[in-house]
Copies of this chain bind each other. A is one copy, B any other.
Amino acid sequence: MNPVKVGIAGLGTVGSGTVNVLQRNAQEIARRVGRPIEIAHIGARRDNPDCDISGVRLSRDIFAVATDPDVDILVELIGGTDTARELVLTAIRNGKHIVTANKALIAEHGNEIFHAAHENGVDVAFEAAVAGGIPILKSLGEGLAANHINWVAGIINGTGNYILTEMEQGGRAFVDVLKEAQELGYAEADPTFDVEGVDAAHKLTIIASIAFGIPLQFSKVYMEGIGRITIEDVKSAAQFGYRIKHLGIARDTGNGIELRVHPTLIPIETMLSAVNGVMNAVMIDGDAVGPTMYYGAGAGAEPTASAVVADIIEMGRALTVDHEERVPYLGFHADQMSDERILTIDDVSCGFYLRLHVQDKPGVLADITRILSDNRISIEAMVQKETEEGLVPIVMMTHKVLEGDMNAALAKIAALDTVDKDIMRIRVETLDA
């Protein structure tokens, strides 16, 4: 089938991430959309060595992408508000659908852009503008659409959360951590947008509109930054049972809507308080569903590209098929199912927790460890428990091992006269990304 043709304006961090994800996962994406997605035209003032765009039409004038008749979807990734606004409005007038990661553009000029899009019958998508790769706008506007939303509270600026986490965990001062964050590339040379809460306020503006069905009203967001928080405050908060997080909060009070971004003490046992470093998380309280939370990377080349490309896929689906299969029943099209085999449990590798009860005799432990090592199983930790009864409980953790090897070893161990046949084993997963 004919490819969906995408034009990308801007080839910085997110632009190159978007090119890389579209290229690397091209086959899987085509199975989801029902036809390929092709990068037809890139507009960028300079090249980016982080991605390979050989064979793609390249213009130094980004407006050439917005007016290219060969482009179905314009992906705006130049950032800023003035040129981006003009570019997007030009593309809309030229009948292009818009995908953007630009929170400032949507928060400050969204009402105008949506009006123009409506007039021209095109779609505008901006999942990447809020919380990077977390599909928070889709969850709020579609997944929770049955609910009256009571409130939304989010850690929606990774830089700020990184600084607060380092202050808490390392006992370090704000200025020290900020300097380090700038060196690591987490914070801009001019950190105002992150540290004063402007970036979070842009995102909160968008969240609130989708939560409550109100126009975008960035100028009404109350903003307070994290620059005045001291180590003393972080420690005192902990004494009271709280952690300090920089939150964006939108709440329907029944008597008007609160829109505010400020440092906030939240109870240490809440899920949000466990969100550390540059990670983002948004908690939403709906009248039917209760509290739900969405967690993930809020920035970075590929996490942001994940959301940009998801928006492209959604538009590609809308341009492709009848509504009943706009999103295929199982995400992939029925004729694109894979016959990849399902492994049996014997083929799975896991660490194991083992609990055995053995006779308190010399040589028993030696027998067990020999059987384990004969079956390629190495022990990571072991504790011999105290007991007043006849049999001694031994608890151990193993390194990763094939399930089949573990079964063979346990059968031999259970056959020892000195070991109780009832051996407990539980698999271990470290959930590393």
| Neighbour of A297 across the interface among B31, B32, B139, B289, CB < 8 A | B289
Least CB separation from A136: chain B residue: B143
Partner among B114, B124, B290, B295 whose Cβ is within 8 Å of the Cβ of A303: B290
- Output the residue of A142, A294, A355 with the most chain B CB within 10 A: A142
- Is there contact, CB below 8 Å, between B296 and A291? yes
Contacts A214-B338, A237-B353, A353-B233: A426 and B265 contacting too (C-beta < 8 A)?
A: yes
Residue interface bits A394-426, CB-to-B below 8 A is 1, else 0? 010100000000000000000000000000101
Contacts of A263 in B (CB 8 A): 426-427
Q: How far is the CB of A345 from chain B (nearest CB, A)?
A: 4
A313 at the interface (CB under 8 A from B): yes
Task: For chain A, residues 185 to 211, give those with C-beta under 8 angstroms from any C-beta of chain B.
Answer: 209-211
* Residue numbers in B under 8 Å from A341 (CB-CB): 256-257
A323 to chain B, nearest CB (A): 4
| A331 and B312 alpha carbons, distance in the complex (Å) | 18
Chain B residues with CB below 8 A from A430, complex form: 266-267, 270
Q: Is A389 an interface residue (CB 8 A)?
A: no
List residues of chain B with CB within 8 A of the CB of A326.
318, 323, 326
Q: Is A65 an interface residue (CB 8 A)?
A: no
A431 and B330 contacting across the interface, CB-CB below 8 Å: no
- Flag A332-361 by CB within 8 Å of B: 1 or 0 each: 101011111111110110010101000000
Contact assessment for A240 and B331 in the assembled complex, using a CB-CB cutoff below 8 Å:
no
Q: Could you say which of B118, B127, B337, B429 contacts A214, with CB atoms under 8 Å apart?
A: B337
A325 CA to B319 CA in the complex, in Å? Answer: 12
The winner among A138, A255, A306 for most chain B CB atoms within 10 A is A306
Is the beta-carbon distance between A233 and B355 smaller than 8 angstroms? Answer: yes
Cα separation A270 to B432 with both chains bound (whole Å)? 9
Binary contact readout A1-41 vs B (1 if CB under 8 angstroms, 0 otherwise)? 00000000000000001000110110011011000000000
Interfacial chain B residues near A339, Cβ < 8 Å: 214
Q: A46-54, A83-91, A224-232, A367-375: which one contacts chain B?
A: A224-232
A179 at the interface (CB under 8 A from B): no
Q: A265-B397, A326-B326 are in contact. List 10 more A-B contacts (CB 8 A).
A: A110-B329, A118-B329, A134-B289, A135-B143, A138-B138, A210-B332, A213-B336, A214-B342, A239-B395, A260-B345
**Could you give 23 example pairs across A and B, Cβ below 8 Å?**
A21-B146, A97-B324, A117-B329, A121-B322, A133-B144, A135-B142, A135-B144, A138-B139, A142-B313, A143-B310, A146-B313, A153-B431, A216-B330, A230-B424, A232-B355, A233-B426, A236-B353, A240-B353, A255-B343, A265-B351, A267-B430, A292-B297, A295-B295
Q: 6 nearest interchain CB pairs?
A: A135-B143, A146-B309, A292-B296, A141-B331, A213-B332, A133-B289
